[in-house]
Amino acid sequence: MRNSVHMLLAVERSFVQAALGFGFKLKENNYFWATNWKKEIMRNEESQILENLKASLDSNRFIKFSLGDYKGHDSNLKKLYVKRVTIKQKEMLSFVFRHKTQDITKNYDFAEAIKLLDEMIGFKGFRFGLLCTLDFDEQMQVFKSRIALKRKPPSLKQLPPKAHDKSKNRKIEAKGKRYLHELGITDPFGKVYKKSQDKYRQINHYIEILSTLLKDLPLREMTNIVDMGAGKGYLTFALYDYLNNVLKMPTRVVGVEFRKNLVDLCNNIAQKSDFQDLYFEEGTIEKYEFKHDANVLIALHACDTATDEAIYKGITGQADLIVVAPCCHHQIRAEIEKNKVKNELDFLLRHGIFLERQAEMVTDGIRALILEYYGYSTKVFQFVSDAHTPKNVLVVGKKLKEPKADQTDILNKIQEIKKYFGIRYHHLEVLLGLTEQMG
């Protein structure tokens, strides 16, 4: 029956198109009749592809539906991608609206989705579509007076997963972690609070970075890690948990923090979590003395010259790995502002925001050079930070077995940088006694 209707419509469509194409002058009533037949033909073709979409959904043969060549009222909308998803055990269609600068995802039940597609397909909407099923691909092209459908053999042979959220390979799982609950990241059942999602992602990203850096450390019966400026210990706890309980790598971790209330809090949580080789000590980075050899030294967001104090501790303690995320660069910025040396960057440094950025790069650049002077390979890269800590540069130094750097060349380079920017000294060079060597 359906095929007969299509054949009749095709014949009538050909007649109307021929009449209009050859310039026949139709009377007003006949023109009205022809125009409505054109609309009916287009409506039928549009309905046909939506009927095929519904049929493929019902038979579980649907793969995806892609729409493009958008000519509607939203000038930023370019394409629409439709896929099947399961959300809270309910089958839905996920719409990804691709705009010039962003993607917007919305989910609809099947009836809502079909209705919305019916409204968006047309000469003043999406003019191109491609329906992919396990049985066939169907291409739709919208013209001014007709919609053309073309069926092809299926291009895809497998149904995509319906899970709305792809399983994420997290280094630290949320469930079963007493410390995450005590620190306010999860509820008692291991579900991450909405307000703590950013912090949880930051923790996992941090562990992912460190896991790559730590894999090259020499094997020891016990690896000693010192986290300077541990704060509330989010990352300190996660690192201890990952190394000892995931990698099964015996590790002792010490968190150094000058605020006694946080030290007491973290030691209490460590005991509740049965983390026997994790403890926190009250003190400053400058005055802290290692109880054990520091194989790894970490200092995240230590303010200004406190980062230099941490690097100094790591270098003099012969740490295999030094990882710092600097925060604030007041010392070098003050030097540049005070001396105001004339150079090619004057046009930039007269603006405060550019001066701040330049001070950050110069400060961390000299830190990297000093690490290389003492036999470390260095890497500076971006580290994701939470909303409250916008500084997100990580400076990493790995101790080399056979250093190849030319120390004289490094000192000369540091001296040239200081002269160019009008810097009398860098705090780290003073701590290490390099000022005298550079003259």
Specify the CATH number for the domain of residue 314.
3.40.50.150
Structural domain including 123 reads 2-152
- Average pLDDT estimate for 11-17: 47
**Averaged pLDDT for residues 148-165:** 83
CA distances from 189 to 174, 175, 176, 241 (A): 9, 7, 8, 18
pLDDT-based confidence at residue 40 (cuts at 50, 70, 90): low
Do 182 and 132 fall into the same domain?
no
> Count of residues for the chain?
439
Does the residue 296 lie in any domain?
yes
The average pLDDT across 87-99 equals 89
Assess whether 25 and 144 both reside in one domain: yes
What is the DSSP code (8-state) at residue 26? -
Does the residue 172 lie in any domain? no
Put the strands of the sheet holding 321-327 in their side by side order: 278-282, 251-257, 223-228, 296-303, 321-327, 393-399, 376-382
Q: Which of 145-149, 190-194, 243-247, 276-280 has the lowest mean pLDDT?
A: 145-149
119 and 43 in a single domain? The answer is yes
Same-domain status, 125 and 183: no
The SS3 of residue 64 is: strand
In a domain, residue 160? The reply is no
For residue 164, being part of any structural domain is answered with no
Mean pLDDT of 328-345: 90
Query: How far apart are the C-alpha atoms of 376 and 396, rounded to whole Å?
Result: 9
> For residue 16, what pLDDT is reported?
44
Going by their DSSP bridges, the two strands 137-142 and 147-152 should be labelled as: antiparallel
Q: Which residues contact 410 (CB under 8 A, 6 or more apart)?
A: 369, 370, 372, 373
Mean pLDDT of the chain: 86
Residues 251 and 139 in one domain: no
Pick the residue with more confidence: 25 or 421? 421
157: in domain:
no
Tokens representing 41? Answer: 């033909």
Asked if 29 and 146 sit in the same domain, the reply is yes
Please classify residue 196 by burial: count the beta carbons closer than 10 Å to its beta carbon, then call 0-12 exposed, 13-18 middle and 19+ buried. Answer: buried
Q: Does 247 map to a domain?
A: yes
- 223 & 79 share domain: no
CA-nearest of 398, 400, 346 to 368 is 398
Of the listed ranges 168-177, 330-339, 381-390, the least confidently predicted one is 381-390
Of the listed ranges 1-5, 108-112, 177-181, the one predicted with least confidence: 1-5
Cβ-based neighbours of 433, under 8 Å, separated by 6 or more = none
Instruction: Say whether both 269 and 409 belong to one domain.
Output: yes
Q: Is residue 161 part of a domain?
A: no
Mark whether 56 and 145 lie in a shared domain.
yes
122/192 same-domain check: no
> In this structure, is residue 259 part of a structural domain?
yes
Choose the most confident range, by mean pLDDT, from 50-59, 268-277, 297-306, 401-410: 268-277
Judge if 51 and 146 occupy the same domain: yes
pLDDT in tens, 170-224: 889 999 999 999 999 999 999 999 999 989 998 998 899 898 888 888 888 999 9
Indicate whether 228 pLDDT > 70.
yes
Q: How far is CA 7 from CA 4, 32, 139, 174, 327, in A?
A: 5, 22, 20, 60, 74
Q: From CA 391, how far away is CA 395, in angstroms rounded?
A: 12
The structural domain count of the chain equals 2
Verify that 133 and 237 share a domain, yes or no. Answer: no
